[in-house]
C-alpha cells in the first residue's frame, strides 16, 4: 500500500513540472479534476487490485465501480487538486482499506515531498517508519488550529466564519493548507493540535481518521459522534483539547 502511494506520488510530481492550469476540467463550482487525478487513480486501482484482488474500490474519480463485499479501498488520488493546479504544496495521495464499514489501514503520502504517514488498526501511527503521536497541548489557547474553507457549499459559511474569527483570537493561530489528508496527518504527528472542516468526502478523511486515532487522537463530527463518519463534518484533536473544541464548535455551528 505504501509502495503504491509513493509510485502515484512520483507520477504526480513528474506531471507537475509541465502541467498548466488550462488542462483542468470543472466538475462543478470550484471543483476541478485533471488527467493527473485520473491517471494517478488508475495506477492505484491497478496496484491495489493486485495486492488484494477480492477488494473493491471507493475512488473519487470513479475509475472503477467494483465493490467488495468485505474489503474496499478508499482512494483520493490527488488530495489538493486546486493546490496542484496553482503549483502550491501540499497535495497528497490518500489510501485507506476498509473492512465492512471500519478503516483498518491508511496511508497519506505527500506527493513531491518525503513524508509518508501510515497506520494500521491497533498498530499505531507512523511517519517514515517512526512512531508518531498527537500533541500534548492541554488548552485551546495554546493550540495551533487547521481548517479548510468550503469551496462550493456556502449555506453554513456565515457561522463558520464567526467560528473562525473566534478561533483566530483565542488560539496561537489558524492555518489552511488545502489538503485535508495532510491536515489530519499533521494533527497525528503533533504539528497541528486541532483540525475541523465541513463538506468533506469519505476519501478525504478515511486514511487520516485512522492515522489520527492510532496516534492517540480523537476524530468525530461536530456533535461529538465518532461512528459512521462520512466527512460531512470533521473534527480531529488530542484528547485534552477535544471537549473544549467540540463545545466551541457547537456554539457556532449547528450540526448538519
Task: Break the chain into its structural domains and give their ranges.
Answer: 2-131, 140-252
d(Cα 40, Cα 14) in Å, to the nearest integer? 11
Is it true that domain 2-131 has CATH number 3.30.540.10?
yes
Instruction: Provide the 10 A C-beta neighbour count for residue 15.
Output: 18
Q: How far apart are the first and last CA of the chain?
A: 34
Number of helical H runs and strand E runs in the chain: 7, 14
Are residues 187 and 146 in contact, defined by beta-carbon separation less than 8 angstroms? yes
Is it true that domain 140-252 has CATH number 3.40.190.80?
yes
Per-residue pLDDT of the chain (256 residues; tens, 9 = 90+): 999 999 999 999 998 877 656 666 655 443 446 888 899 999 999 999 999 999 999 998 888 999 999 999 999 999 998 899 888 999 999 999 999 999 999 999 999 899 999 999 999 999 999 999 999 999 999 999 999 987 666 778 899 999 999 999 999 999 999 999 999 999 999 999 999 999 999 999 999 999 999 999 999 999 999 999 999 999 999 999 999 999 999 999 875 4
Largest CA distance in the chain: 51
**Grid cell of 150 as nine digits:** 468550503
- Same topology between domain 2-131 and domain 140-252: no
pTM for the whole structure: 0.93
d(Cα 4, Cα 16) in Å, to the nearest integer? 18
Amino acid at each position: 500500500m505504501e509502495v503504491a502511494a509513493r509510485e502515484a506520488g512520483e507520477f504526480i510530481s513528474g506531471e507537475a513540472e509541465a502541467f498548466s492550469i488550462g488542462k483542468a476540467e470543472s466538475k462543478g463550482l470550484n471543483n476541478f479534476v485533471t488527467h493527473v487525478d485520473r491517471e494517478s487513480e488508475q495506477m492505484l486501482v491497478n496496484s491495489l487490485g493486485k495486492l488484494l484482488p477480492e477488494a473493491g474500490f471507493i475512488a473519487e474519480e470513479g475509475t472503477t465501480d467494483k465493490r467488495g463485499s468485505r474489503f474496499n479501498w478508499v482512494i483520493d488520488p490527488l488530495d489538493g487538486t486546486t493546490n496542484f493546479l496553482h503549483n502550491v504544496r501540499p497535495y497528497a495521495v490518500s489510501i485507506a482499506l476498509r473492512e465492512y464499514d471500519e478503516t483498518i489501514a491508511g496511508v497519506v503520502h505527500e506527493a513531491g515531498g518525503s513524508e509518508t504517514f501510515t497506520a494500521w488498526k491497533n498498530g499505531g501511527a507512523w511517519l517514515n517508519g517512526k512512531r508518531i503521536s498527537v500533541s500534548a497541548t492541554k488548552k485551546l489557547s495554546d493550540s495551533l488550529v487547521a481548517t479548510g474553507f468550503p469551496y462550493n457549499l456556502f449555506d453554513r459559511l456565515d457561522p463558520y466564519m464567526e467560528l473562525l474569527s473566534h478561533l483566530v483570537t483565542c488560539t496561537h493561530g489558524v492555518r489552511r493548507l488545502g489538503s485535508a489528508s495532510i491536515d489530519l496527518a499533521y494533527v497525528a504527528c503533533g504539528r497541528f493540535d486541532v483540525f475541523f472542516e465541513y463538506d468533506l468526502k469519505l476519501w478525504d478523511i478515511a486514511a487520516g481518521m485512522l492515522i489520527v486515532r492510532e496516534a492517540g487522537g480523537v476524530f468525530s463530527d461536530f456533535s461529538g459522534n465518532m461512528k459512521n463518519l462520512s466527512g460531512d463534518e470533521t473534527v480531529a484533536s488530542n484528547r485534552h483539547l477535544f471537549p473544549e473544541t467540540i463545545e466551541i464548535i457547537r456554539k457556532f455551528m449547528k450540526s448538519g
